[in-house]
Amino acid sequence: MTKPEIKDGSIFFTDSITESSTNLEKDFFRSLEYWQVKDKTTVKERDAYFAISTAIRHKLIKNWLRTQSEYRRNKAKRVYYLSMEFLMGRVLGNTLINLGSYNEASDIIERLGYKLEELRDLEPDMGLGNGGLGRLAACFLDSMATIGIPAYGYGIRYEYGIFKQGIQNGYQVEVPDNWLKYGCPWEICRPELEYRVKFGGKVITEKREDGTDRYKWVDTEDVIALAYDVPIPGYKNSTVNNLRLWQARSTNEFDFHYFNSGDYMAAVNDKNVSENISKVLYPNDNMHEGKILRLKQQYFFVSATLQDIIKHYKKNHGKTFDDFADKVAIQLNDTHPSIAIPELMRILIDDEGIEWNTAWEITKKTFAYTNHTVLPEAVEKWDVEIMGPLLPRQLQIIYEINRRFVNEARDFKGFDMRRIKDVSIFEESGHKFVRMANLAIIGSHSVNGVSALHTEILKNDIFRDFHELFPGKINNKTNGITPRRWLKKANPFLAGIITAKIGDAWVKDLYELKKLEPLANDPAFHKIWNDAKSCAKEQLKVYVKKEMGFDINVDMMFDVQVKRMHEYKRQLLNVLHAITLYNRIKKNPSGDFVPRTKIFGGKAAPGYYVSKQIIKLINSVSKIVNNDPEVNKLLNVFFFPNYSVSMAEKVIPASELSEQISTAGFEASGTGNMKFMLNGALTVGTLDGANVEMLEEVGNDNIFIFGLKAAEVKDMKLSGYNPRAIYESDAELKEVLDLIRTDHFNKDEPGIFSHLFNDLVTYGDNYMLLADYRSYVNTQDKVDEVYRKRSEWTRMSILNTARSGKFSSDRTIREYVEDIWGVKPVNVNFE
């Protein structure tokens, strides 16, 4: 990097400010000098990154303050989006695009001798999330600000993200994700905004003057929740909403008694124990202590959030709660924040003196719940022996909610004991557990799935009895993605040619992409479309070489599966296809094969042994395939470590084939599938999650669908699925699996994959890989046929982008607004 030019002998940045300098340029130079304390001889790249980020944040401040003032002036109903995760990625690029300041910032940075794209790469992904649930929350924040919805996100300011994923000898290793190492220029600490959060203690009963019981939660161990705010700007409007994150602090920072007696560790013990609550995203809950910490995290952010919401409500609408549900909409992003239901009841009854029935009506009208899973093991439940000592009053309230609900189900709905057992908040199987999904359903006025198929599974299977009890409560809101980040920012090559042809209205109305359809058969447009894809592939090649040391061949088809590692997502099925291709090439090296690069990426939970073994298998296959001169000109396999939002923004635009191959009936929706579709990748997938609706939008001729449907998966399991019979009868499959069984890819570590083989062949193949193998491989052969016909492939690619309008998070948010929240946009355009 070149050093800034020193003119007129001055080393000070503020001496470069002239009458013609823009406000952003002035603020940038002042930030370098007054905030970063640098001159032209000492400035570094990271200083420039912090300075431009600080200058941009300053540009947001007035509209940030004005937006909140306008919401108060309008006495607007507000949406509060509660989520344990916000997978924000990097903030700088998206903020510049939403403000329309990208080119101006780039010019300022270049005059300093740097490149904006390189400074953006210095920014760490915010370590506030892990998977699709968190990324959805981030897309929703962007859409709510763009539409002008009075909305606030609430979560935890984790000091460490889930982990940084490294690969050693093919195995995943986890190292701390210290994303706050250099600080975060986007957040503003609010030291004046603290709330006390209680744990433990006991509940005592006192008599009120009218003879009724009053419950008091006493002798508690308290923690302070400190607020940090992050601005969320809408796209080219004046709305700036707020993401508020809570950090845990001790009520007793330092104990002089212990310190003076020489016990220095004990002197700071309270501080360390308290601050563990916001230390790391998703502590390992395979152990008892991890479970306690996880529940503490959930209650910590819920308690602080409700105190904050009620403070705002009283300030703007008075001290009575008569209008609370008309002014407050709280959306629970999965069950993690559902402890908010008994907590609001506690506040209304114990602190505000409201009688039960009134409090319950307010609570139900306030909350709505989004379900994100149909996996039984992922449906959250808490042992009462953990919840009771930690949250004694909340558990009392849950017992009373359940007692009244069970009586209603039995007396007014005629439910027998078997069905009552299914819908009860409490599961009694040895230990007694609190089923948080049941609590969320009972305590909310709306329960939504996140794709049409997922919602039908909720209604007809998982929550069938609740659907009968509360007809109409379960509804669908198919997920979406923000086109600002996932096309305009992530893929400027493609975004540019689209805008040149149809204008830029698509950025706020994704259905505008329909205007591309007439161009799907235009040879001239095919050329520039393919040029955009080539540019993205070249960009990925440079990035991968720099960050990972891999050499990827841009002349191969990029066949990509990047997502959280889980057995139901079936990365292992993709590996079986890779080995199938390997075998075919070895048998006929001069055969007519379509050259492919298979790209995998995703993190496995630290305690998830099988998923970590699949990562090891991918890397073992990669080592053999990529070093075999007979094979590597036709097939490469790579595992990209530490997959993240920022990596996705480079991988997805370069992808040509998107692998969405989960077992039908297991994926709630998916949003990665939508991102690939928007960027012109073709999908090979099952009829699972939102793939079903993608098929409806793009048409059967423009997507590669294979495998069993959800109902067929269920029927096959019930009728006695026999994977060994498939293994014995399909010679090609048997050859593939036998290579795994006989340690072909792991000669130095014999037997390490025997568990994977046995899971598939001997122990039931729970996710039906062998049942779908033949259909999958045959469909991949069809993919090759179409890829050879470049014009046909390009036509399908264009139509995928053109017909992706439904999958904008703007559309999803409008449906929440109209059907669930009942809020109205507020116009805060001040210019």
| Helix/strand/coil for 790 | helix
Residues pairing with 160 in the sheet: 280
According to DSSP, residue 425 is labeled: S
**For the sheet containing 426-429, what is the strand order?**
381-383, 431-435, 426-429
CA-to-CA dists, residue 52 to 35, 217, 230, 313, angstroms:
11, 48, 16, 36
Two structure tokens written together for 302: 């819920």
In angstroms, the CA 187 to CA 304 distance is 18
Note if 75 is an active site residue: no
Complete DSSP assignment for 207-254 = E-TTS-EEEEEES-EEEEEEEEEEEEE-TTSS-EEEEEEEEEEES-S-
Note if 564 is an active site residue: yes
In angstroms, the CA 221 to CA 187 distance is 29
Residues 6+ apart with CB under 8 A from 347: 306, 310
Note if 675 is an active site residue: yes
Two structure tokens written together for 637: 């396999």
In angstroms, the CA 484 to CA 490 distance is 8
Two structure tokens written together for 264: 């220095």
Q: Identify the active-site residue in 336, 564, 596, 795.
A: 564
In angstroms, the CA 131 to CA 281 distance is 12
Q: Identify the active-site residue in 54, 146, 455, 671.
A: 671
In angstroms, the CA 444 to CA 693 distance is 27
Is the Cβ–Cβ distance between 216 and 206 less than 8 Å? yes
In angstroms, the CA 413 to CA 67 distance is 47
CB < 8 Å & 24+ apart, contacts of 35-42: 38/13, 39/11, 39/12, 39/13, 40/3, 40/4, 40/5, 40/6, 40/10, 40/11, 40/12, 40/13, 41/3, 41/6, 41/11
Note if 569 is an active site residue: yes
| Helix/strand/coil for 61 | helix
Note if 478 is an active site residue: no
In angstroms, the CA 549 to CA 543 distance is 9
Complete DSSP assignment for 106-166 = HHHHHHTT--HHHHHTTSPPBSS--SHHHHHHHHHHHHHHHHT--EEEEEE--SB-S-EEE
Return the H-helix or E-strand segment holding 635: strand 635-640
Is the Cβ–Cβ distance between 594 and 693 less than 8 Å? no
CA-closest candidate to residue 513, choices 498, 530, 524, 525:
498
Note if 372 is an active site residue: yes
Q: Identify the active-site residue in 30, 467, 566, 675.
A: 675
Give me the amino acid identity at 187. Answer: E
In angstroms, the CA 679 to CA 650 distance is 11
In angstroms, the CA 497 to CA 493 distance is 7
Q: Identify the active-site residue in 90, 164, 435, 569.
A: 569
Two structure tokens written together for 415: 């439910």
Which residue's structure tokens are 């690069």? 597
Which residue's structure tokens are 């329309």? 100
* Angle in degrees, 0-180, between the axes of helices 769-788 and 731-741, rounded to the nearest 10: 110
CA-closest candidate to residue 370, choices 434, 451, 425:
451
CA-to-CA dists, residue 583 to 497, 608, 622, angstroms:
41, 30, 14
Q: Identify the active-site residue in 77, 294, 372, 596.
A: 372
Two structure tokens written together for 127: 């370590």
In angstroms, the CA 504 to CA 496 distance is 9
Is the Cβ–Cβ distance between 153 and 227 less than 8 Å? no
Q: Identify the active-site residue in 327, 563, 598, 612.
A: 563
Q: What residues are labeled active site? A: 372, 563-564, 569, 671, 675
